[in-house]
Amino acid sequence: MSSKRGRISNSFEDKILFSNIGARIQLLQKEKKINGIELSNKLGITPQALSAMLVRLRKGEGVEIPTLYRVAKALNVNLKDFF
């Protein structure tokens, strides 16, 4: 973590990790045939919010673990399946 409270580290390695998580979420979505609207409904967010989160991940920006947990639960996978 960086020195700023609430900020997620943005080292090169972290950016690669977050980008890979974003790609993995999208791959799991396709495998499970769950479109963005269905996933966003399961998460209780708008499709635009889901899209924004996935774009942030693909850019290598972070997301909080509780959010990833909710996505894993919505996709009916374990959190470890993102790694």
Distance between CA 75 and CA 32 in Å, rounded?
A: 8
Virtual torsion, Cα 67, 73, 77, 83, nearest 10 deg? 10
pLDDT at 1: 42
> Which pTM value belongs to this model?
0.81
Q: Over 80: is that where the pLDDT of 21 sits?
A: yes
Domains of the chain with bracketed CATH: 12-78 (1.10.260.40)
Give the long-range contacts of residues 9-12, CB within 8 A, separation 24 or more: 9/62, 10/60, 10/61, 10/62
Burial class (CB in 10 A: 0-12, 13-18, 19+), 35: exposed
Place of tokens 């499709």: 47
pLDDT band at 79 (very low <50, low <70, confident <90, very high): very high
